[in-house]
Amino acid sequence: MNNFIKWQDRLEDEAETYKQELVNEALTCGTYDKGIKFLKGLKQGLPTAYSGTPEQVISNLLDSVIEDAIRDVRDKALKAKVVNND
Tens of pLDDT, residues 40-55: 999 987 777 778 888 8
Q: What is the identity of the amino acid at 79?
A: K
Q: Average pLDDT, stretch 52-79?
A: 92
Q: What is the pTM of this model?
A: 0.84
**pLDDT tens for residues 12-24?**
999 999 999 999 9
Cα–Cα nearest to 15, from 74, 57, 54, 64: 64
For residue 35, give the DSSP letter. H
Average pLDDT, the chain: 90
Contact 66, 39 (CB under 8 A): yes
pLDDT of residue 86: 63
Q: Rounded CA gap, 82 and 8, in Å?
A: 41
- Give the whole-angstrom CA distance, residue 6 versus residue 66: 23
